[in-house]
Chains A and B, each alone.
Chain A
Amino acid sequence: MIRRGLLAVGAGVPLLALVTVLALVFRNVVLGPEMPRPGGTFVEGVVGQLGSLNPLYGEATAGSNDLDALLFEPLVRVLPTGRIEGRLAARWDVSPDGRTYSFTLRPNARWSDGTSVTADDVVFTVRTVQDPQFPGALLNQSWKDIIATAVDSSHVRFALPGHNAGFLANLELLDIVPSHLLAGKSIAELASASPNLNPVGTGPFRMVANLADRIQLERNPFAWRRPWLETITIRSFPSQAAALEALDRGQINSLANLTPSAAAQERGNRDVRVLAASTYQYAELLFNLKSEEPFFQDIKVRQAIAKAIDRTSIIRDVLGGQAIPADGPIPRSITWAYDSAAQQPAHDPAGAAKLLDDAGWVLVNGIRTKGTTSLSFGLTVSSDVPPYERVAEKVADQLAQVGIVAEVRPVTTASLIHDYLNPRTFDMTLTAFDNGPDPDVYTFWHSSQAHPGGFNFAGMKKNVFIDGDLEDGRNTLDLAARAKAYATFQEDFAKELPAVFLYT
């Protein structure tokens, strides 16, 4: 009896295992696959203030406008591959001469109060950012001279003054706002808190409550792309440490913009996944190349500075390894346009010293000197946004090793823009830019943009090759032709070296 029982157990265990395996394998066949269902409250932590909820003023107020992406939408979105995705626009056409863009709005697009989205909303948004009183300089500049016309309620047309293949990327930055709620208000009123308190957008969520330490959103019932999540809560934390603690305790479901050390810490947390992506940001040292500036006219000095800087150690020591070296104004994250053949001079202090010797800057008491002039200048940097000041100090240390004196001058971001970049009163400046997913850097580097008010802050003298490359790059919509133009641009740019690119 005992033996039979043992035999039965002996046969039963593998049989049970087999049944379990079969049940698991065929579970989806029998029961059907698991599918997403509506519901759930997602809680994200952010460090610091929650930022603006007015999509047009995030830039102007230098606040984070991340939440706008949940509440508002542009007409299109540009992917790093160069592909364009429709958002509020269902489709679009470009005229053969490349100067007229026509968009058809999604027929089911509605504001979160249920009102239909019309072409008038788009035209209203464009005219708002075109207003001379509008405080966002980049949006204002990029929309200047573009004529927006509502063809009918669902079609809008943009007439450009010239070719601009990067126009769709400009369009991506323009979240459309509701004219039926905002028309008639002054620019000052639009910039005030009023539209921030109850923003009405077309995004997948709409606001329920805006509290001191959190913003609560719910699924927008009128959104053309309905989300599964029922609600999203964005909670503000005073520090990353506090937010990480909340994540580890399961009090929040997500935390973005992690520091390198935080990302490393969370990789050890089995309850979370760490997702990483590149950005389009880059940091650079801009030379002031206007003729009154004595130091940087000689390309040997610019090359020596590039060779004196060890970008790898900056990334390792200051940025915790959370960046890669940059070689030019087109970051490698724009995969289709980045040219890996265009490289800046590699770190070579001995080579830097030789270039300075050749240029007549000899070492006197450890400082490069020519006649009675020392190779000593200011390095202006924003003190508002870490880690730029620390990066500037590291750059100054590295330049000191070849006898160049760079005096770090920290200023506020507002002062950097208004007192140094716009009037071109800096010697050298460490700046960071994010030009988005399109490689068109005409605004920053074409000689026509060197005038006061333009964004070619370095003031590089006209280089017909660079100007020509930049014109070719924006004159066609063909990606292969654009990639070729930008490859040539990056190679010409690396030879001219009007800036030293640090990291991206």
Chain B
Amino acid sequence: MAVSTRIHGVRLDSAIESEERYAYVSDWYMEVGR
């Protein structure tokens, strides 16, 4: 899986089915603030 460096929080388990790349999609983010 190739992901833009603009997308943060993307991680994969050590083994996945194809659709499990979205397992932690709720943690992905593009916007940051303080």
B residues within 8 A CB of A68? 19
Contact with A along B1-34 (1 / 0, CB 8 A): 1111111111111111111111101111111111
B residues contacting A by CB (< 8 A) are 1-23, 25-34
Residue of B4, B17, B27, B33 near A254 (CB, 8 A) is B4
Number of A-B contacts (CB under 8 A): 144
- B15 → chain A closest CB, angstroms: 3
- B17 → chain A closest CB, angstroms: 7
- B30 → chain A closest CB, angstroms: 3
Residue among B14, B15, B21 facing the most chain A CB atoms (10 A cut-off): B15
Number of A interface residues in the complex (CB < 8 A): 62
Q: Are B32 and A37 in contact (CB under 8 A)?
A: yes
**Alpha-carbon gap, A255 to B2, bound state (A):** 5
B residues within 8 A CB of A331? 15
> Is A80 interfacial (CB-CB < 8 Å)?
yes
Contact with B along A32-63 (1 / 0, CB 8 A): 11111111111000000000000000000000
Query: What are 20 of the A-B contact pairs (CB < 8 Å)?
Result: A33-B34, A34-B34, A39-B30, A40-B30, A66-B21, A80-B13, A80-B14, A223-B26, A229-B30, A254-B3, A254-B4, A262-B2, A263-B2, A271-B4, A275-B2, A277-B1, A280-B17, A331-B15, A333-B14, A437-B15
Q: Are B12 and A277 in contact (CB under 8 A)?
A: yes
Q: Are A253 and B31 in contact (CB under 8 A)?
A: no
- A92 → chain B closest CB, angstroms: 19
**Alpha-carbon gap, A33 to B26, bound state (A):** 20
Q: Are B14 and A278 in contact (CB under 8 A)?
A: yes
> Is A266 interfacial (CB-CB < 8 Å)?
yes
A residues within 8 A CB of B28? 42, 227-229
- A322 → chain B closest CB, angstroms: 13
